[in-house]
Amino acid sequence: MILQKVSNFPTKFLFNFPHKFEMAARPSSDLAKFRREHLASAQHLVILTGAGVSAESGVPTFRGAGGFWRKYQAQDLATPQAFYRDPSLVWEFYHYRREVMLSKEPNPAHDAIAEVEARFAAEGKRVVVITQNIDELHKRAGSENILELHGSLFKTQCTECGDVRPNHDSPICEALSGHGAPDPDATAARLPVSDLPRCQVGNCGGLLRPNVVWFGESLDEEVMDAAHEELENCDLCLVVGTSSVVYPAAMFAPQVAMRGVPVAEFNMETTPATNRLGGKGFFFEGPCGTILPQALAK
């Protein structure tokens, strides 16, 4: 993922909004008003989701205090440099994350999002999920229109031929079976590169990597273009469980609000985006799995 200030973000992904716009209005917490005046009339709903949604399913975030795998934080391993320096260690980390995710289930927030998408579709309306999460819990809950900004744990990319494909094997390769324990005292497997996941396309046999966006890498341009189009055309936007500090996603909600579109944030606490939601902004504090089903119920 690209961690940078908005001023340094490529201008092709910035919307053409007026430069002067008052964004300091205090957001409303009136759930009945949100449902009556905005959800009921929405024709094109975009839902932005972040780690807070998955955390309620028990998914480790590897952020903040205690956010370690062994002695490493995600930014220590989720880089191209780390992978080429020690692909065995990085694959242990991602093997652990894949196996953990296979034991988790979508929570009521995921279910509510999938249900509103199905309901809107039946009425000829559109719902799109733009997620920073790589766990595929939205897909497992039944959502279909999903843009994964940071890729997926359950897709691989060949470092030789570039082939990208789904992979839900458990374990992803036999050599990793029994490895990946998060205990700080665990010994690294130090597997030979030849034993790590390999490309199955023809005679390629290249080393596979997780198809996720690592620190220092650019987001997929096609995914960003698609997200840009959805955000430009939506008439209601929800921000669910995201810290609003990682760019470019941190820009999305305030930019939609600058078009005069209602934006509702659902979070455990306020974020840098909370007071930038414009005069039609809403903020609902509490667990996403509790509040979101109420907000989106038929």
Positions annotated as catalytic residues are 150
- Dihedral (Cα; 169, 102, 222, 74), 10-degree rounding: -110
- Enumerate residues 6+ apart whose C-beta is below 8 A from 297: 112
Report the distance separating Cα 49 and Cα 239, nearest Å: 6
Phi, psi of 7 (to 5 degrees): -65, -20
Amino acid making up residue 49: T
Q: Quick check: 256 and 16 in contact, CB under 8 A?
A: no
Give 198's strand partners. 207
Give 45's strand partners. 127, 236
Q: What Rg, from alpha-carbon coordinates, does the chain have? A: 20
Report the distance separating Cα 76 and Cα 53, nearest Å: 24
Amino acid making up residue 199: C
Report the distance separating Cα 278 and Cα 265, nearest Å: 12
Q: Report how far apart the first and last C-alpha atoms of the chain are (Å, whole number).
A: 36
Q: Which two tokens stand for residue 92?
A: 């242990």
